[in-house]
Structure formats: C-alpha cells, structure tokens
Amino acid sequence: MENYETSSKGAFVLKAVCLVMIALILAAALRGSDSVPGDRSAFVDPTEAPTQEPAPTQPAVPSETAFVTALPAHTDTATPTETASGETPIPTETAVPTETPVPTETAVTTETPVPTETPKATKTPKPTATPKPTNTPKPTNTPKPTATPKPTRTPKPSGDPTPTPYYSEPPHLPGPDVSTIPPLTSRSGKYHTYGDGLNLIRVDNSAFEISFYVKSSAKKYADLISWAAEQLEGSTNVYSLIIPTGYGVVLPDDIAAQISHHVDTEAKINVTFSLMSDKVIKVPCCHDMRLHRNEYLYFRTDHHWTSLGAYYAYRAFCRVKGIEEIPLTARQEKRKTGFLGSFYRSSGKDPALLPADTVYLYWPVSPNAKMKFFTDPASDGSHGGTNWPIVSPVANYNAFAGSDNPLTVFTNPDVTDGSCLIIIKESFGNALLPFLVDHYSKIYEIDYRYWTGNVLELAASVGATDLVFANNFAVLSAGSKIQQIARIVK
C-alpha cells in the first residue's frame, strides 16, 4: 500500500514536471525563439514578460503523512546519563548505596543521637469509623488536559543570569497544629516555564509540575479500588491514600491564581473519594499536609515529597486507622545535603533552582525491623531476596526502602500481633515505609509498575489485615498507571 502511495506521489511529481516542460518547449517553439529549455533568458526577456504565463506552482505535497513521530517538539531533554534519575531503581546485591555528587556544596551529615527511650511499636487495632473527608466540594466539570498545556500569563524570563540569591529552607520538623491552612505567597510574584512539552514551572527557587485531573480516569481508579474492597470485605481493610504532589500543597497562592485551569488538588481528591465505595477507608492526608504547607514537605528540585511530607500522610493514616503515631522527635535523624533531583535535570540544570535540597532521614524505632527486596517481577517474597537497610544514608530519594523494586518485604519481630499490610505504591510510597514498619509484623510493599502477581491472591495467602493504595495524584489523570494497577488487582 505504501508502495502504491509512493509511486503515485512520484508519478504525480513527474507528470507535473513533464507538463511544465512541454508547455515551455511548445511556447518557445511557437514563438520561434532560439532559446531551449534550460535557457533562462526566455524568462527574463523584458519584451516577453507581459505575455508570459505565470510561473508554474510546485505540485502540492500530499498532506497525509503515514508516519508521525511522537512528541517532536520535546527535544530539550538531557542525555540519558544526565536524565537518569539519581535513583537506582533496583540495587544489586553487591551494590553499595552511593551518594549523588554535590555540585555546589559539600555534603554534611549531622546525626541526632538515638533517643534513649524508644517508644514501643504499637499494635494495630481495628480501624475506627472512616472520617469523611473535609471540605468536600461538589464535583465540577474539569477541563481536559491538552497535549502541551501551557500556563497563561507567563511572564517572560527575567533574563537575569544570576539566580535569586536567597535560600531559606523551611522548617523540617513539624510545626504546631493549626486549624486553618496558612497562606503562601511567592517572593517574585511570577513563575518561569521551561518550554513546550514540559509542565514544569519554577517559582523563585522551587520547581513544580502542573497537576491535571481527568474525572473519567479518576472514576476508573475509584471503581478499581472499590472493586478490591468489595472482594476483600471481611478479611482485609482497604485504604485509599491519594498523595498530593507539591503543586497541590506548597504552590504559592498568588501563582496558583495566575495558572489557567489550575486544579485544586484537595478538592479533586475529595471528589475521587466520593466516587469510591463506602467499603474503602479514605485517608485525607492532603488536608493534613496543607495545614503545614509552610514547612519543608517537598523537595524544590525533585518531584517527590520529603520525609516530613510523608510523615504527615503517615500521621493521617494513623488517625484514620485509630493507632498512635510515633513522632519524628522519637526517631534517629540524619541530614544529607546536596540532593539535586528530577526537576533540576528536566529544567536543564537551571541554576535558579540552586542550592541543592537536603534529605532528612528518620529511622524506624523498632530495632529489629528488617527489609528484603525482590527483583523478580513474579516473586511472592517467599524465596531469595536481598537484604537492604530500610533507610540508607544517601543524599537522594533512594534513601527510602531501597527505592523501587517489584516487591519488598518488611518484617518486624517487635510487633507480635501478626498484623500484615500490603501497600500498592509507586515511588512516593517509599518514604512512608520507614514510618509504617513500626506498626506491622509484616509489610508487603508492591510497586505496581514492576510486579506481575495478583494482589488479591497475595492478600489471601499472607492473611493481610490491611491493603493500602498509596498512589500520587498523577495517577488520577494517567490511564496507563490505572491500567498497571488493574493488571495486578483484577
């Protein structure tokens, strides 16, 4: 078929050329001119000019193109080695956690002494009645995302080669509990974009990825979680913990007001919760996080949340489940500076994002808790596996739970009630594990992107008491992610 098309196109061009040549030759011959084809004097003779035919136009190029190269506009990607997330997805058995080189600062590690009185790991009582998400607005018609959504009213880049010379890291420890969401205002009052195809913006020295919401996708996600809850009713409690990204929590209010089709993340999470069955226990962590949005909840140079961000989600989970959380102050803390993450790479290493982030690490309080990861996508965790520290002292997001592996199993002999959690997550979930491990005898952490087993079968075989879907907000607009979850659930 393509041969036919190609030959047709070729013939068309050739025919056009022939016609033009014939016309020219005949015109020249009839005029008795001495010029022959190729002699351009026939076209430039001023005496002939008024009677000349208009110059023939080029044959139209067929507009139909059989092949389309996807995403042609997006060419400013760095080389794979540069874009390779500083995260080693699957560490090997012999691998030693490495640190991301620090371009501008020397990594400094400070240790906080381990608290002398380690709080006892708590038992896991039955969950209390599910609190209804607060501030649930009515579902609204959400505009569909476009291929390259562009924020409107984009101010021109300042052109100032010197990055804003300030950096004040917000508090990394929990602030006092408040009942109202604190306002946030940017310093510059404007945002910077990074070109077509990237939904990345920079506000002062923080990067954000613009969030979208597709209600029809969110409905599919909600139906899927509901279906799992129906199947596991009576045996396993099913929780939904939708994790907001930095855009939905710490984007300054004055910038949110400038972005067209700005999505209110908390409202959309609540809409999604409302689409779920009553059998799903909802964890409205977004609201908890927004109450503390003036703290260091998200990295400025990476798309992930910090330990503190994860801590607030963990705290919300504990409240919903009816267990007492173990505070950060009771945990061993370490600080690693010099983290430059995915946003920094995607921005083409925008110096305005410097200096680098700091990774705060908090260890579980259970001294005997251990983890093992499995690289076999079909593993059920019963054989093999690689021992790995639950928290690694590295200056990147790999620090938490050995990064992304198909399956990771945590055992905590300090919790003796036989409680068992299965958590379905992508990378955001990793930072929750150092907190959750203190509350369960066993945890199966499944990365739905890599694991190929069946969650319901696993839940039955290991006697899971809880199943948590801890997925970040982006899943609600990404059918590919929902499909991946469906493949291990249904």
Partner 1 sequence: MKKITAILLAAVFALAFLACSPKENGDKPAAFDAEATLNKLLADVKYAAPLQDVSQYADFLFSDLPEGTSIRHFSAGGKYADAVLLFTLPDETGVPAVKEAVSLYLDSLKLEAERYEPAEASKLQNAVIYDNGAYLFVVITADTQTAEKILG
Binding residues for partner 1, rule: CB under 8 A, are: 1-2, 4-5, 7-8, 11, 14-15, 18-19, 21-22, 25-26, 28-29, 32, 34, 36-37, 66-71, 74, 77, 80-81, 83-85, 87, 89, 144-145, 147, 197, 214, 216-217, 220, 224, 303, 342, 346, 377, 404, 406, 427, 449-450, 452, 478-480, 482-483, 486-487, 490
The Cβ of residue 457 has, within 10 Å, a number of other Cβ atoms equal to 11
Does residue 263 contact residue 142 with C-beta atoms inside 8 Å? yes
Quote the least distance from Cβ 82 to partner 1, whole Å: 9
Smaller CB separation from partner 1, 198 or 421? 198
Between CA 246 and CA 293 the distance in angstroms is 9
Smaller CB separation from partner 1, 71 or 178? 71
Smaller CB separation from partner 1, 37 or 171? 37
Quote the least distance from Cβ 43 to partner 1, whole Å: 16
Smaller CB separation from partner 1, 303 or 439? 303
Quote the least distance from Cβ 407 to partner 1, whole Å: 12
Residue with tokens 């798309």: 303
| Two structure tokens written together for 307 | 């330990």
Between CA 130 and CA 316 the distance in angstroms is 12
Sheet strand arrangement including 206-209: 192-193, 200-203, 206-209
Quote the least distance from Cβ 219 to partner 1, whole Å: 9
DSSP 239-295: EEEEEPPHHHHTS-HHHHTTSTT---HHHHHHHHHHHS-TTEEE--HHHHHHTTTTS
Q: What is the DSSP letter of 197?
A: T
Smaller CB separation from partner 1, 237 or 408? 408
Give the strand pairing for 333-339 and 109-111.
antiparallel
Smaller CB separation from partner 1, 28 or 460? 28
Q: Which residues does residue 192 pair with via DSSP β-bridges, in sequence order?
A: 202
Does residue 269 contact residue 284 with C-beta atoms inside 8 Å? yes
Quote the least distance from Cβ 271 to partner 1, whole Å: 15
Smaller CB separation from partner 1, 400 or 440? 400
Quote the least distance from Cβ 203 to partner 1, whole Å: 20
Quote the least distance from Cβ 430 to partner 1, whole Å: 12
